[in-house]
Amino acid sequence: MAGEINKSCGLDIHKRFLIATILIRSGEKQLQHFDRNEDVILSLRNWDASEKCDVVACESTSDFGVPIHDSLIKHLPFIVGNIRD
């Protein structure tokens, strides 16, 4: 991932829902709430693809983010941070 990041997506992953935030270099911000159900990964991937984010970043202290990571890592750079580590 070289160069400037013009659009990034941050994920706040919880047991029953997740919140995705897109930050654009111009200062614009978009929020989207997703319920954690069987369609969440497809919905999130389609939303992120339509927004054309350069990178996705999330903080996860449990395994709730694993299926999301595994689905998105094939399509764009994905950064996972864990406050314990």
Q: Are the C-beta atoms of 40 and 11 separated by less than 8 Å?
A: no
Domain CATH number, residue 13: 3.30.420.60
Tell me the per-residue pLDDT of 7-49, one tens digit each, with 9 for 90 and over: 888 888 888 888 888 888 888 898 888 887 777 777 777 776 6
3-state secondary structure (DSSP) of residue 65: helix
62 vs 78: which has the higher pLDDT: 78
Q: Is residue 50 part of a domain?
A: yes
Q: What is the pLDDT, as a whole number, of residue 83?
A: 57
Give 2's pLDDT tier (boundaries 50, 70, 90). low
Task: Indicate the pairing of strand 7-13 with strand 17-24.
Answer: antiparallel
Domain count, the chain: 1
CA–CA separation, 32 and 30 (whole Å): 7
Q: Is residue 63 part of a domain?
A: yes
Structural domain for 65, as ranges: 7-81
Of the listed ranges 15-24, 55-64, 75-84, the least confidently predicted one is 75-84
Q: Are the C-beta atoms of 9 and 22 separated by less than 8 Å?
A: yes
Q: Is residue 44 part of a domain?
A: yes
Best CA proximity match to 58, nearest among 49, 68, 50: 68
Task: Indicate the pairing of strand 55-59 with strand 78-81.
Answer: parallel
Q: What is the pLDDT, as a whole number, of residue 85?
A: 56
Q: Is residue 1 part of a domain?
A: no
